[in-house]
Amino acid sequence: MSTDLTKRHCQPLEGHPAMTPEEITRHLAMVDGWRLADGSIEKRYGFPDFHRTMGFVNALAWIANAEDHHPDLALSYGHCTVRFNTHSVNGISINDFICAAKVDALLKTGA
C-alpha cells in the first residue's frame, strides 16, 4: 500500500486538522516498521557502516527538500532514526506518511 503513497506529493496543510488516532493507525499499516512516538511517526534504519548511513541521509535530504517536508534525524555510525510530524497541523498528517513511504522506497530501489 505504501506504493500509492510514494506517488503522492506533500501539500501545504495550514488550517487543516491533524489526523485522528484512527487515521494514524490506518496509515501506519501502510508503512512497514514505522511507529507512533511522542506525537510523531518514526523508524530506525540500520546500516553496516557510516558511509552507507550518510548516503541514506543525503538521499533522504533530497526527498525532504523536494517535498518541502523535513524530518528530525538522530544519526550514528550505523543507524539513523527518522521522525516525521507536521508542525502546521500540530500533529501527524498525510504528508508524514507520504514522506515515510518515499524514504522506505530508497532502500527498496537500491539508492
Q: What is the pLDDT of residues 62-75, one digit of tens each?
A: 999 999 999 999 99
Confidence label for 111 from pLDDT (cuts 50, 70 and 90) = very low
Dump pLDDT digits (tens) for 8-42: 999 999 999 999 999 999 999 999 999 999 999 99
pLDDT of the residue at 108:
84
53's enclosing H/E stretch is helix 50-67
Give the residue extent of every domain in the chain: 2-9+19-108
| Placement of cell 503513497 in the chain | 5
Cα torsion angle, 111, 43, 95, 87, sign = negative
CB 73 within 8 Å of CB 82: yes
% of the chain at pLDDT higher than 70: 95
Confidence label for 3 from pLDDT (cuts 50, 70 and 90) = low
**What CATH class has 2-9+19-108?**
alpha beta
Rounded CA gap, 24 and 17, in Å?
13
pLDDT over 70 (residue 1): no
